[in-house]
């Protein structure tokens, strides 16, 4: 039976290196379906045999001695390019090129400048050439810069390598930002679970929870795995999963999902799915594995890049050798043009920028709550003609606000109703209660209320003087009005309160732009048809 292995990679510093490592590992006999994910610095593969981590690292070191495979990424990737070294190299080069100094000193400064700027690129180029017999953009840069030095065009040579390194620094920054965006989602993962064993509660790693275990979820804790409530009732905050700010009421025999937060009472849950099969684990896997699914463009670039660089190098040699005969120019001039051809034909824009564009797009989308299953799905967006939005937190702000108060009993003023609402809701942690509290900036004394009760999924009740006050939904307040919230005093329907989560300020503009592109827009919501855009 094939087993799936997943590890972290330390020292993976470029998309080309990831591609080469993936190709070489797929050639290893006992490794199948190897995927090297440059976006998340992860390695995954299948194997019929038990693969020892030490044995795996021996294989990897033969490909690239700077790469290490680890179970947990406790090591940190070193900076690929040191900005201080770059500045010193450029400064020495400028002094050697532009200032009137003795020729010996000039050559010393230029040699030091070229060494500081080129040594890392040179090491990569030699390693790839010797170990993998691969020619990439590093070789082209080295040849171009050394050729510029031989022709006496030192300023141009220094400019070429400087721009190349700056491009690498910007690429590294983009990659790190995207990785951080993806890693931020890992906070969704619970660290532990409270397992109930023989009447005792034992804290265990969430990965060790088994199906049919009974776990205890206390107030303020995340639900670690999917399950069914077997004891107790509470309110759950599911906003991290669904975006809905309104808490979900659960009782015995109700389902709970991993990633939800218990905001009220202790409950006991029977485990239905182990962590690797739970909702939150599947969401995290979706994000981490998104860049494993290559687009057609990326696949094509991978194939082309293998032959592109050698072809460019061959053409540059032809240009250098043939131009003197064809155009009656000097060898130095043709050599200069051959070097120019190498620089402008550098495959970075193709072999690196294309995968990086998809990778960055997926990472930025993840940071903004948009989960994309892979690069191939990004390509399909160009064919999109219909788009379905979730409502809460997408088209709306996700924060509840009181939009209107309808009074049905003239004995009560709006100020009195607001006071009664705040007196009760000040004791509640429900998101709707927070919207009620925003109705007044003044501090309200609720020490005169008695017998306060909060009924899950319905509302609250309390005594105020000789009055029995209920604030809640239509079932609790015994009225047929479908408004969000109602106020009932001594069995009489006094007021209805409209509460919504508000349309985002740029919602209309976004929908209009999509419609301008002939994209039809739809919305999924459990609300009434009061929020409607055409």
Which residue in the block uniquely carries the two structure tokens 């240009």?
A: 319
Q: How far apart are CA 339 and CA 141, in angstroms?
A: 9
- Give CA angle at 364 (244, 64), nearest 5°: 130
H/E element, 47: strand 42-47
Which residue in the block uniquely carries the two structure tokens 């919230």?
A: 485
Q: How far apart are CA 363 and CA 291, in angstroms?
A: 9
Give the tokens for residue 353.
């920028």
End-to-end CA distance of the chain: 54
Tell me which of 254, 292, 379, 390 is the catalytic residue.
390
Q: Are 252 and 228 in contact (CB under 8 A)?
A: no
Q: How far apart are CA 222 and CA 263, in angstroms?
A: 9
- Give CA angle at 346 (297, 37), nearest 5°: 45
The torsion angle over the Cα atoms of residues 80, 84, 89 and 93, rounded to 10 degrees, is 140
CA neighbours closer than 13 Å in the CB half-sphere of residue 522 = 5
Residue 467 is among the residues annotated as catalytic for this protein: no
Which of 351, 348, 341, 347 minimizes the C-alpha distance to 315?
Answer: 341
Which residues are catalytic, by number?
A: 390
């Amino acid at each position: 039976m094939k087993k799936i292995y997943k590890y972290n990679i330390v020292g993976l510093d470029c998309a080309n290196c990831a591609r080469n490592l993936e190709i070489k590992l797929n050639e290893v006999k006992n490794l199948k379906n190897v995927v090297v994910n440059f976006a998340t610095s992860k390695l995954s593969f299948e194997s019929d045999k038990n693969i020892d981590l030490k044995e795996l690292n021996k294989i990897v070191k033969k490909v690239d001695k700077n790469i290490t495979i680890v179970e947990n990424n406790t090591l940190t990737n070193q900076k690929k390019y040191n900005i201080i070294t770059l500045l010193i190299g450029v400064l020495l080069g400028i002094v050697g090129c532009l200032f009137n100094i003795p020729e010996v000193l000039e050559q010393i400064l230029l040699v030091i400048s070229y060494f500081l700027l080129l040594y890392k690129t040179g090491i990569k180029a030699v390693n790839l050439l010797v170990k993998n017999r691969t020619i990439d953009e590093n070789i082209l840069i080295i040849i171009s810069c050394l050729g510029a030095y031989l022709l006496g065009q030192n300023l141009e040579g220094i400019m070429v390598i400087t721009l190349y390194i700056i491009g690498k620094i910007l690429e590294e920054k983009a990659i790190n930002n995207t990785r951080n965006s993806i890693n931020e989602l890992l906070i969704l993962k619970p660290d532990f679970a409270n397992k109930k064993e023989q009447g005792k509660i034992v804290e265990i790693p969430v990965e060790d929870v088994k199906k049919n275990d009974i776990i205890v979820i206390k107030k303020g804790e995340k639900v670690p795995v999917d399950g069914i409530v077997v004891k107790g009732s509470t309110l759950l905050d599911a906003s991290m999963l669904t975006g809905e700010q309104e808490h979900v009421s659960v009782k015995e025999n109700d389902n709970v999902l991993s990633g939800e937060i218990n905001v009220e009472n202790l409950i006991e849950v029977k485990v239905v799915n182990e962590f690797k099969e739970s909702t939150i684990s599947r969401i995290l896997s979706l994000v981490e594995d998104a860049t494993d699914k290559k687009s057609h463009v990326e696949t094509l670039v991978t194939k082309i890049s293998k032959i592109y660089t050698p072809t460019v190098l061959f053409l540059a040699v032809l240009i250098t050798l043939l131009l003197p005969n064809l155009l009656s120019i000097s060898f130095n001039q043709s050599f200069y043009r051959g070097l120019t051809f190498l620089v402008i034909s550098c495959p970075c824009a193709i072999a690196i920028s294309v995968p990086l564009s998809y990778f960055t797009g997926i990472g930025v989308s993840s940071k903004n709550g948009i989960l994309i299953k892979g690069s191939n799905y990004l390509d399909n967006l160009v064919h999109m003609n219909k788009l379905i939005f979730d409502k809460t937190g997408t088209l709306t702000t996700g924060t509840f606000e009181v939009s209107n108060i309808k009074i049905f009993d003239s004995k009560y003023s709006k100020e009195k109703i607001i006071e009664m609402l705040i007196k009760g809701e000040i004791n509640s942690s429900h998101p709707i209660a927070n919207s009620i509290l925003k109705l007044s900036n003044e501090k309200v004394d609720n020490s005169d209320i008695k017998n306060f009760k909060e009924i899950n999924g319905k509302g609250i009740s309390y005594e105020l003087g000789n009055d029995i006050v209920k604030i809640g939904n239509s079932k609790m307040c015994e009225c047929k009005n479908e408004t969000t919230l109602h106020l009932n005093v001594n069995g009489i329907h006094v007021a209805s309160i409209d509460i919504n989560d508000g349309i985002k300020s740029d919602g209309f503009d976004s929908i209009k732009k999509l419609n301008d592109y002939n994209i039809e827009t739809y919305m999924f919501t459990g609300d009434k048809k009061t929020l409607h855009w055409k």
